[in-house]
């Protein structure tokens, strides 16, 4: 129903009103400027008008959010009316960059400046490559934009409520956007096909980075540095996504890549989360036995993936994917002490072996996220982030993903995207 309304709205803009995609892009810039000034001068405007300055700030957020949302409209309109142009593919990202960084710079005192500067540099490089290659944003660029835009919500709420903890969540999202931007630029730099045997090593080197992150997470568990261990597991997830993308870009496929990726996933998403939970329990015998069971469940999940991927609906997996399971376990570590995180770990192992349930591929879900899904994910993440720890925000997206099989099923329109099942680097 939502998709039909959106399509009707896009056609009304393009066919009835005769507005072009490039006009929408420039219109976004025109309406962004007053929203920006409303935020900058919200105290003065509140005093002048006799309205709470928080209300002025909230109005500015709503206006800028609407401007950002119309980025989806201009792209959909270009595809609907056949007005995709090389000029639009350059103009749209340039306007996006101006809106994005003009917004983020408003939170300069709270934002991670190192991450922001590197992210900006990567975005400029990506925009240049898009113009040279005459290509739209790839899957990682789109995910990066989502992280950037959601980070603004947390920085804004932190300002309006005075709750500084939410700035940490915003910065986590900025660092996530930086990782995704680096992957996006790296994929663009690679040739469409491997031009020499040296290029064929690239996916394997990325898989090696996945494995090293898992080993470092285990080392952090031994030292008791749980927070760093959690971050290393998420870095491993980034490498796990990118090795498959690199393999597909280069047209590389090998049995070694498939087996090497399985070993890396077993360490990073099986042994490392189990070690972190055991560390929070002081390496008690019960935690160690539970960790062994979780590791066995991960191995069984990876074995079933190789055995059943040809009979599983395209874009879906039987049982909870091992990176998603590791995400669930690390969210449990961030939100709950032992034995709460121990129970979460055992539950995650059970879900990995629930082969009668189909979960959609991350890369298929993210481009088709609806507004209600994004809103629910944010709400589910804000609650533990505010009351427990900023890292508790990690619980929101994974809880929504766990429930997604109820409405994202094979054959549904919103689920009708092929998964990225390559022999090297696919999510298992």
Instruction: Summarize pLDDT for 186-240 with one digit per residue, the tens.
Output: 777 776 665 666 667 788 888 899 999 999 999 999 999 998 999 899 989 888 8
Instruction: Report the 10 Å Cβ neighbour count for 161.
Output: 11
- Provide the domain count of the chain: 1
Highest mean pLDDT (candidates 55-59, 70-74, 127-131): 55-59
82 torsion bin: left (phi>0), alpha (psi -120 to 50), beta (else): left
The pLDDT value given to residue 286? 93
Contact 233, 213 (CB under 8 A): yes
CA dihedral 284, 286, 292, 297 (to 10 degrees): -140
**Is the four-CA dihedral 316, 190, 178, 330 of positive or negative sign?**
positive
Helix axes 226-250, 255-266, angle to 10 degrees: 170
422: nearest Cα among 176, 206, 272, 269: 206
CATH number for position 344: 1.20.120.1760
Residue 22 covered by a domain:
no
Residue 36 covered by a domain:
no
The pLDDT value given to residue 85? 67
> Measuring CA to CA, how many Å separate 110 from each of 105, 148, 166, 167?
10, 15, 10, 6
Residue 299 covered by a domain:
yes
What pTM value is reported for the model? 0.75
Residue 342 covered by a domain:
yes
Residue 116 covered by a domain:
no
Instruction: Report the 10 Å Cβ neighbour count for 239.
Output: 24
Highest mean pLDDT (candidates 34-38, 78-82, 203-207, 245-249): 34-38
Residue 343 covered by a domain:
yes
Residue 415 covered by a domain:
yes
pLDDT digits (tens, 9 = 90+) for 157-171: 899 988 888 898 899
| Domain with 235 in it | 196-428
The pLDDT value given to residue 391? 80
DSSP 14: I
Residue 136 covered by a domain:
no
Q: Mean pLDDT check: name the lowest of 180-189, 269-278, 363-372.
A: 363-372
| 194 or 295, higher pLDDT | 295
Peptide bond preceding 219 in cis form (omega within 30 of 0)? no
């Amino acid at each position: 129903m939502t998709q039909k309304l959106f399509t009707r709205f896009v056609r009304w803009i393009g066919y009835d009103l005769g507005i072009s995609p490039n006009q929408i892009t420039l219109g976004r810039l025109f309406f962004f400027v007053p929203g920006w000034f409303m935020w900058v001068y919200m105290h003065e405007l509140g005093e002048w008008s006799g309205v709470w300055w928080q209300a002025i700030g909230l109005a500015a957020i709503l206006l800028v959010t609407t401007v950002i949302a119309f980025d989806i409209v201009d792209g959909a309109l270009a595809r609907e009316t056949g007005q995709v142009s090389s000029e639009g593919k350059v103009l749209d990202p340039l306007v996006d960059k101006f809106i994005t960084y003009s917004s983020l710079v408003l939170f300069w005192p709270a934002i991670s400046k190192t991450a922001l500067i590197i992210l900006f540099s990567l975005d400029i490089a990506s925009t240049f490559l898009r113009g040279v290659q005459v290509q739209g944003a790839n899957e990682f660029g789109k995910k990066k934009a989502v992280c950037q835009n959601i980070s603004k919500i947390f920085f804004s709420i932190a300002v309006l409520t005075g709750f500084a903890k939410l700035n940490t969540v915003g910065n986590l999202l900025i660092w996530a956007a930086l990782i995704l931007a680096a992957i996006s630029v790296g994929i663009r730099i690679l040739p469409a096909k491997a031009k020499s045997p040296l290029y064929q090593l690239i996916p394997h080197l990325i898989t090696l980075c996945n494995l090293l992150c898992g080993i470092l997470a285990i080392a952090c568990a031994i030292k008791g540095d749980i927070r760093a261990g959690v971050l290393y597991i998420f870095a491993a997830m980034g490498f796990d996504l990118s090795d498959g993308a690199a393999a597909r870009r280069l047209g590389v496929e090998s049995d070694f890549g498939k087996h090497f990726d399985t070993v890396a996933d077993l360490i990073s998403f099986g042994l490392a989360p189990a070690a972190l939970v055991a560390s929070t329990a002081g390496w008690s015998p019960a935690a160690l036995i539970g960790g062994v069971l979780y590791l066995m469940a991960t191995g069984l999940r990876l074995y079933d993936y190789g055995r059943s991927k040809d009979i599983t609906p395209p874009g879906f997996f039987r049982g909870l994917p091992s990176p998603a399971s590791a995400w669930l376990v690390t969210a449990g570590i961030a939100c709950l002490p032992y034995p709460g995180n121990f129970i979460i770990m055992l539950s995650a192992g059970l879900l990995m072996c629930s082969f009668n349930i189909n979960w959609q591929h991350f890369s298929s879900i993210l481009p088709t996220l609806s507004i209600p899904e994004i809103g629910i994910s944010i709400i589910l993440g804000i609650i533990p982030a505010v009351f427990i720890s900023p890292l508790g925000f990690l619980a929101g997206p994974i809880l929504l993903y766990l429930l997604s099989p109820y409405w994202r099923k094979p054959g549904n329109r919103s689920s009708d995207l092929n998964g990225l099942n390559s022999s090297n680097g696919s999510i298992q």
